[in-house]
Each structure stands twice: as C-alpha cells, then as structure tokens.
Amino acid sequence: MSAEKRPVWFITGCSTGFGRELAQQAIAQNFNVVVTARDVTKVSDLVQGKEGNTLALALDVTDNAAIDSAVKATLEKFGTIDVLVNNAGYGYQSSVEEGVESEIRAQFDANVFGLFAMTRAVLPAMRKARKGHVINITSVAGLIGFAASGYYSASKHAVEGWSDSLAAEGEPLGIKVTCVEPGPFRTDWAGRSLHQTKSTIADYAGTAGERMNAISGYSGQQPGDPVRAAKAMIEITENANPPRHLVLGAIGFEGVTKKLKQRLSEIESLEKISKATDYPQ
C-alpha cells in the first residue's frame, strides 16, 4: 500500500498513556500518523526513522493558533485527515462543594473547549473528502457520575452530548463519530494526569474523600491493558459503520450497562407522568 493510500491519523496527547500506545500501534500498521504533545521532544522517538509516513508536532489544544498550525502542517504533508483522535486531557478530583474555580476552568479548557476547537479545525478537510472519523476519548465517567469526579464527569458528559450533535451533522457528509469510554486502565493516569483538591470536610469523608484515597492507591493495578485498547480503537476504524460508543474494559462495560439499564427503567416507570405534561389533544 502506498503512503498516499494509507489512512492519515491525527492523535492528540501522545506523550504518555492511551495516546502514546495508540500512536505506536497505528505506526506499526504503517498508517500515516501525526503524533502531538505539548512538548514535541516527548514524541520525537515515535517518528525516528519513519519520517516518510509520520509527523511529530508540538500542540497544546488550548492554543487555537497551535491547533491551526498543526492542522496546516498535516494537510501540507498528507493532504487530508482521515481519523482524528481527541485524546488530550486530564482528570481533576474534588468534592463538588470544594472544587477550585481555576482548576475547574483549566480542565474544561483542555477536556472540552480544546477538543471542540481541534475538531472544528479538522472538519473542513473531512467535509472536502466526504469522509472521516472523529474518535473522542471520554471515559466511563462520561456516562456515570462518581463521587469526587463531578467536574471531570461534567467535562466528559459535555463531550458525549456534543458528539451526538456532531454525529447527526456529520453522517450525511460521510463523517463518523465514536466516543471511547475507558474504565480503569494501567496507564499511570492517576499518578500522571490527575489533579486533586483533597476534601477536608468531614461530611464527604465517606464519599469523595474515600474515593480519592482509593484511586491514588490503585494506580498500576488496573485490569485494563492499554495495548489491547489501542488495537480495539484501530479495529473500529476499519468498520464501514463504526459504533457511536465503545466502552473499554470489563469493569467499565459492567458499570455502564448497569447504569443505563437503571436509567431506562426509571424513565419508563414515569411514562404516564411524562406524557401527561403535553397539552390535551
């Protein structure tokens, strides 16, 4: 397969974790791959000796000028972008009451507004080609709210809802959208990409406080395998009709399906009340 016919992948946040593993797997498949990180030196090893079909770029998704520059460089080298993986982002934990305004806004800048801006910058190329696949790495927290993760969950819920709209607008143009919702994976996320405002209010000791302490001690023991996760993400892009959602890991799958079944059951139990709020026929 010639380099021109290989799919062009653009992945944000490749210095560590899911982004790095996915980049490695995509490069191993001989795809055209653009790897990005705020510090480009942390991803330069990924492209060494493979410069013909790879590109390493400095990118902070909260910087619109950097986004535009990265997309321009990609299009100049490869002509298009077939798969955009919005992976850059991080976690923030606190009780809802003790959340720090600056921390909350900074997280939304990266997890939400940066992702929105990145996608807006890539959509013109996908529209022109009448094909493309946007993969948004959210979390099981995008479908389930956990104690201590109110603001992180809110950022991921926002991406989930936005992705529904993007899918509705993109489908007639050949643009597919998938939200990938990982459960606990062994990516050192807790030690590397998690900010915390420790709870000091005794009333939250058994909820937010307990969960923050448990997660800190859980890092490195998660059952999820990042290599298998990366391969699963590549696999869905090879499907002519990729899924809107891909939950990763047994813990995530069980938690999400249980939550959605409970939600549907509750909504259906209130059908009479819900429908009675319309004007009478």
Domains of the chain: 3-251 (3.40.50.720)
pLDDT for residue 223: 79
End-to-end CA distance of the chain: 62
Strand order in the sheet with 54-58: 54-58, 32-37, 8-11, 83-86, 132-137, 175-182, 245-248
pTM: 0.95
DSSP helix/strand/coil, 3: helix
List of long-range contacts for 42-47, beta carbons under 8 Å, 24+ apart: 42/15, 42/16, 43/14, 43/15, 46/14, 46/20
- Per-residue model confidence (pLDDT) at position 221: 73
What is the H or E stretch that residue 245 is in?
A: strand 245-248
For residue 189, the model assigns a pLDDT of 58
pLDDT band at 2 (very low <50, low <70, confident <90, very high): very low
Amino acid code (one letter) for 40: V
CA atoms within 13 A on the CB side of 251: 11
* pLDDT tens track for 114-167: 999 999 999 999 999 999 999 999 999 999 999 999 999 999 999 999 999 999
Q: What is the mean pLDDT of the chain?
A: 94
Q: Which of 152, 204, 218, 279 is catalytic?
A: 152
Q: For this structure, is 152 an active site residue?
A: yes
- Picking from 63-67, 119-123, 192-196, 261-265, which range would have the lowest pLDDT averaged per residue? 192-196
In this prediction, residue 224 carries a pLDDT of: 83
Cα 244 from Cα 228, distance rounded (Å): 19
Say if residue 218's pLDDT is above 70: no
The pLDDT tens digits of the residues spanning 69-98 come to: 999 999 999 999 999 999 999 999 999 999
Point out which residues pair with 135 in neighbouring strands: 85, 178
Burial (0-12, 13-18, 19+ Cβ within 10 Å), 214: exposed
